[in-house]
Chains A and B, each alone.
Chain A
């Protein structure tokens, strides 16, 4: 049991989530291993965001179990699930920065709420986190409204990392970024994952991110996981949607690149 919990960061079994008559997730099972970067793909409106929001507890589920870091969230007491919440960091698609706080205060917010730290240490660590995501002390005094899209994502990532979480959830981290910024962001996620030993759960549509950064990919179709595994598994998969996604027009470069250097 302990060994299993050590290897699995998130364990989802037979998850059912629906709105009214519409079943978005229908008996979905998925494991996220510790220390891996898992990319989740699926059609727009196919339940990627719903799955992530259910795992982090923003949406109610109809049935099934979700265990995060070895703790079943249904069986856990409030205190325990709050402790789990502290060990997870979340990057929302639009950043979701608090608009009335500066960048620095945004990053300090979780520290102020959860840790008893001196102002000086909080400032230094927050600045260090901002530097880790590639921002400077000058940016720290800005307000979210003054940031570009890429900077907003970086600040949101710094805030997600504020408490040194074990699992980071990223919702479309590279959407809305130009290819160069997206590439930088991918590299950043990879570096941070290695330095901090993170488990990364990422919703994405970006084929480059999937092939460059993700250790494994899970493809959602019809409310279930249609295929899960590294890029090679995806390319070999015969599921029609997965086929269309990874071997479609936009993915040709990917197939060629993979053929040249098999993963």
Chain B
């Protein structure tokens, strides 16, 4: 079989001829394309090329779309060099496919101009800045929408979706308790251990109670729990709402005259606002417990002394300063998660992207908010 001989150019007196043969199929397409390019280049370099060329396709035994397209490409490129290009000998049962390929790629192919990398960089910065502004606007809009619906619900409490709210509360509150307790317990242990280890150098072991108490109640407790909730519940809100958006469930809701903010988003945001202070409270207790346990086992401070010193070290103000922040952080997480969820477009990739953005953004904003609260509390002397 002449599988080796795919494409061959030769001169027959005054007339140029190209002989095509073998299997013109996808399997050999790469090889064929290379031979084709070589042949066309050789033809192009010959000055004063002949007016006529015949392409003899009688030897083509197998032809598929790839081969048919390459044959058509060969003819088109030869036409650039020869006045008259003819195809002879194509087997009858290949005519249909070849005719189809003659129609292909006729339109002007929009070749993209090579892009300037500096311009691309500038464009990315510009887009980033404008999307920053529009993201902020989206957050404010979502906050406004939740506020509006909340006002309506306060006016008519029966419109609150109680079942949904309780269900969400169960998911983001109750079911989150074990992991929150575990993590905050461990963090409490670690803070106490580090405190004892370093304070011991100054003989100031006892101050570890102040360290653990104030740090946990004011900052670490609420911050840690908020970050965990953003990762655990915020991401699931975004993914849920995003896939509902993808499957047009949110549109369906709207056409039934129901406001998605009222039905889907308010119960979720409300559940977060209720759950986060409770989780913060439990988390702080767990961290103090961990700190006390380490102080006893590692630092040799008896629990009674730990509790007595804790009462002196912390006041109710520290506890309040921590807990006041919780509902605001919850609101930030809820607003970010829901607005990112509604930004999901049709593709699976966009769902993943929006979920990541939601978690990153809410953790960032929670920390920024914590900083603002610290400045605020310092200025009012709390």
Q: A residues bordering B, Cβ < 8 Å? A: 99-100, 111, 115-118, 121, 124-125, 127-129, 131-132, 136-137, 143-146, 161, 163-164, 194-197
Contact of B29 among A115, A127, A161 (CB under 8 A): A115
| B:55-97 near A, CB below 8 Å | 64-66, 69-70, 73, 93, 96-97
Contact of A124 with B29 in the complex, beta carbons under 8 Å: no
Q: Which residues of the partner chain B approach A132 to less than 8 Å between Cβ atoms?
A: 65, 100, 104
Distance between Cα atoms of A132 and B345 in the complex (Å):
29
Do residues A137 and B110 form an inter-chain contact, with CB atoms below 8 A?
A: yes
Query: Is B73 in contact with A124, judged by CB distance below 8 angstroms?
Result: yes
Q: Are A129 and B65 in contact (CB under 8 A)?
A: yes
Q: Which residue of B lies closest to A137 (CB)?
A: B107
Report the minimum CB–CB distance from B234 to chain A (whole Å): 23
User: What's the Cα separation between A166 and B347 when bound, in Å?
Assistant: 31
B347 touches A145 (CB 8 A): yes
What are 8 residue pairs bridging A and B, where the CB atoms are less than 8 Å apart in the complex? A99-B349, A115-B29, A127-B109, A128-B69, A143-B346, A164-B25, A164-B64, A194-B96
B26 partner, pick from A131, A164, A195, beta carbons under 8 A = A164
- The answer, yes or no, to whether B15 is at the interface (CB within 8 Å) is no
Partner of A164, one of B33, B65, B70, B348: B65
Partner of A195, one of B100, B107, B345: B100
Nearest Cβ in chain A — how far from B48, in angstroms?
29
User: Which residues between 97 and 122 of chain B lie within 8 Å of chain A, taking CB atoms?
Assistant: 97, 100-101, 103-105, 107, 109-110
B30 touches A145 (CB 8 A): no
Q: Which residue of B lies closest to A130 (CB)?
A: B104
| Alpha-carbon distance between A221 and B26 when the two chains are bound, in angstroms | 40
Cβ contacts under 8 Å, A163 to chain B: 26
The answer to whether A117 touches B107, judged by C-beta atoms less than 8 angstroms apart, is: no
- Among B26, B27, B33, B101, which residue has its beta carbon within 8 angstroms of that of A128? B101
Closest 6 CB pairs of A and B: A145-B346, A99-B347, A128-B104, A100-B349, A164-B64, A195-B96
In the bound complex, what is the Cα–Cα distance between A164 and B62 (angstroms)? 12
Q: A117-B29, A131-B105 are in contact. Are A125 and B66 (CB under 8 A)?
A: yes
The chain A residue sitting closest to B25, CB to CB, is A164
Contact check, A137 vs B66: say whether CB atoms are below 8 A apart.
no
What is the CA–CA distance of A99 and B348 in the complex, to the nearest angstrom?
6
Please judge, given known A-B contacts A99-B346, A99-B349, A137-B109, whether A128 and B65 are in contact too, CB under 8 Å: yes
Contacts of A121 in B (CB 8 A): 29-30, 33, 66, 69-70
**B contacts, CB < 8 Å to A:** 25-27, 29-30, 33, 64-66, 69-70, 73, 93, 96-97, 100-101, 103-105, 107, 109-110, 345-349
Query: Besides the contacts A111-B26, A117-B29, A164-B65, what 10 more A-B pairs have beta carbons closer than 8 Å?
Result: A99-B346, A99-B347, A115-B30, A117-B66, A124-B69, A124-B105, A127-B109, A128-B65, A128-B104, A137-B109
- Check B107–A136 contact: CB distance below 8 A: yes
Say how far B101's CB is from chain A's closest CB, in angstroms. Answer: 6
A144 to B26 Cα, complex, angstroms: 26
Complex Cα distance, B69 from A132, in Å, reads: 12
Cα-based distance from A37 to B104 in the complex (angstroms): 26
Residue of B nearest to A143 (CB): B347
B30 in contact with A118 (CB, 8 Å): yes
Known contacts A99-B347, A100-B348, A163-B26: A125-B110 contact under CB 8 Å = no
Q: Which residue of chain A is the closest to B110 with respect to CB atoms?
A: A137
Taking the closest CB of chain B, its distance from the CB of A65, in whole angstroms, is 29
Q: How far is the CA of A104 from the CA of B359 in the complex (A)?
A: 33
Name A144's contact: one of B73, B104, B346 (CB within 8 Å): B346
Closest to A128 in B: B104
**A125 touching B65, Cβ below 8 Å:** yes
Contact indicator A125/B30 (Cβ below 8 Å): no
| Residue numbers in A under 8 Å from B30 (CB-CB) | 115-118, 121
